[in-house]
Chains A and B, each alone.
Chain A
């Protein structure tokens, strides 16, 4: 209980409040701009966080995460283009409702359900993350290895891309993590005589390249796209009738979103699609879905924002990212010298509860900004790509260079930008590469340490119940998407 009071520490710190307000506003801007979003935005801002203390840095990233996830709904409703992938399901009913002249009502419902979903997920985070961390105290090296394998096999079921292609991308990410000196024996691997590669490839050049630069290349192929914007007078709070119609949907989707978020490697996109389809399944008026149903908007928006808190549970408790954006947040934690896991809960409760509290406040802040400022944020979509992306390039290049003042990092960023573009073009998601890169050291390190403990006998993995459980879960995670595809 005393830890819970630490949640309100950000309210007492003017510095953290400024960071929160800035993060929320910046996140909303990122959210409304199609092509950007919490992951790319988080990657772009990562180098700037080096000037902040670890708590402020993570507060900034989490505020961006929460508000950008909501911000995607503004674009989804007004121009029928999801600002973020997680808002794709919101388009289905948000835009038709806006076309009927009820854009304010659609955005009001999106704002309220996103806020409720987000706050619900913070409650889940506050209660479940410590429990999961406590469970992780029992983990030894073999259990961590099995857990990391489970996290990686979950990549197979990520929404976009085929399961096998996702696994290839994940393995590619782990392979990148092996570049440089082997952390156990100092033997150089894949360095080919380049001294700067001895320390390995940094997270930021890869993250910025795969998300920002590859998106710039993608945008270069979409220049003929024309957006039709629906006029917005003002955001309206949902009526009593709308609340009556949607409260069950909002609660259900909040639960679904939080649960999906907790699963390693899943995220808001999957959560919103499931939240939407469940809202339709349970609705008394399923025929209204796709034609401007407020239940559809509530189902998708509550779920995608609920996934934010859920995704932070495995990220903070186990160091396994729950989504693409939490992979960036995890990168932020690592570059600030914070190692997530059970020890973090024991040693730095004020740090953790500060993050929980700031996520709660960010959800309230985006409600206020969204409610009163959606009209202004909607205007940001008018910034043409031909001006926006060259500016993003300038920030990406300087940000990547700033970390170790090395031009090699900039070349690596460009290289991964091109790789990321072709990966996306041919159906390989780039998210598993990042998750693989982050988990790579954990997978290899725990495997090798386990083999030392087991004196090289691989079969001894099967004598540990938690390991066996994770292996079975991994097997299910691998088989499930293949079976689902076959059924479809």
Chain B
């Protein structure tokens, strides 16, 4: 039995709430409903200032449209199930983790350091082992980009342990 057939059989036996169709539709409807509820907290303008409709009406309409269309998508998926996606590989989760690492390091330590760390981490996780190339992507290239933005575009990067040294020099 091929892997695809095995996967298809496995998917058929799954309860409906484990299937992609349900998970995706449920997430969209849940987020849309939360946003829809929050539109009721928008300020209401007096009729004289009201340009055609209240500011909350348009987003409300959009959210109802999204919910309605998602229900149709879910209904159609019962008749014709979605293509089964391959399991996400480890490299995907490592890349996603590198984004979190980037956010933490750039917020607490340094923006430049965060770019360097992400570059070396992603490059290594994706299979690069040669030291020169790891240095190229994590140090040499970010320095070029940094200097380019700083000098040509006149950009001032947020303060941090390395950026401060650069600006003091």
Contact = CB atoms under 8 A, between A and B. Distances in A.
Interface of A: 47-48, 50-51, 162, 164-165, 167-168, 171-172, 174-175, 178, 182, 184-185, 187-190, 192, 216-217, 220-221, 223, 384-387, 389-391, 393-395, 397-398, 401-402, 405, 407, 410-411, 414, 417-418, 425-427, 444, 447-452, 456
A427 B82 contact: yes
Contact of B149 (A175, A398, A414, A444): A398
Nearest to B94: A220
Per DSSP, chain B at the interface is helix
Given A48-B153, A221-B91, A391 B52 contact: no
B76 interface: yes
A262 B119 CA distance: 41
Nearest to A417: B99
Contact of A391 (B50, B89, B137, B155): B137
Nearest to A141: B52
Contacts of A175: 35, 59, 62-63, 66
A375 B37 CA distance: 58
B2 to A, nearest CB: 18
Given A168-B69, A171-B65, A448 B92 contact: no
A165 B73 contact: yes
B106 A402 contact: no
26 contacts: A168-B66, A168-B70, A171-B65, A175-B66, A178-B58, A185-B55, A187-B43, A187-B45, A220-B94, A221-B86, A221-B89, A221-B92, A387-B128, A387-B133, A389-B126, A393-B115, A394-B119, A394-B141, A397-B115, A401-B157, A402-B153, A405-B156, A405-B158, A448-B58, A450-B52, A452-B51
A189 B59 contact: yes
A449 B96 contact: no
A179 B161 CA distance: 34
A185 B45 contact: yes
A164 B24 contact: no
Given A164-B73, A217-B92, A220-B92, 9 more contacts: A175-B63, A221-B86, A390-B120, A390-B137, A394-B115, A401-B157, A402-B155, A418-B96, A450-B52
A350 B43 CA distance: 45
A389 B126 CA distance: 10
Contact of A447 (B52, B103, B141): B52
The 4 closest A-B pairs by CB, nearest first: A451-B52, A448-B52, A386-B126, A390-B119
Interface string B110-148: 010001001110110011100001001110011001100
Interface in B56-93: 56, 58-59, 62-63, 65-66, 69-70, 72-73, 76, 82-83, 85-86, 88-89, 91-92
A178 B59 contact: yes
A217 to B, nearest CB: 6
Given A386-B128, A402-B153, A448-B52, A190 B38 contact: yes
B49 interface: yes
Per DSSP, chain A at the interface is helix
B96 to A, nearest CB: 7
B118 A390 contact: yes
A340 B138 CA distance: 41
Contact of B141 (A220, A391, A452): A391
A49 to B, nearest CB: 11
A171 B35 CA distance: 14
Given A223-B91, A391-B137, A401-B157, A448 B53 contact: yes
Contacts, number: 161
Contacts of B96: 217, 418
B142 A190 contact: no
A448 B52 CA distance: 5
Contacts of B157: 401
B13 to A, nearest CB: 21
Contacts of A405: 155-156, 158
Given A165-B73, A175-B66, A190-B59, A393 B119 contact: yes
A141 to B, nearest CB: 10
B42 interface: yes
B126 A385 contact: yes
Contacts of A385: 126
A51 B51 contact: no
A378 B20 CA distance: 39
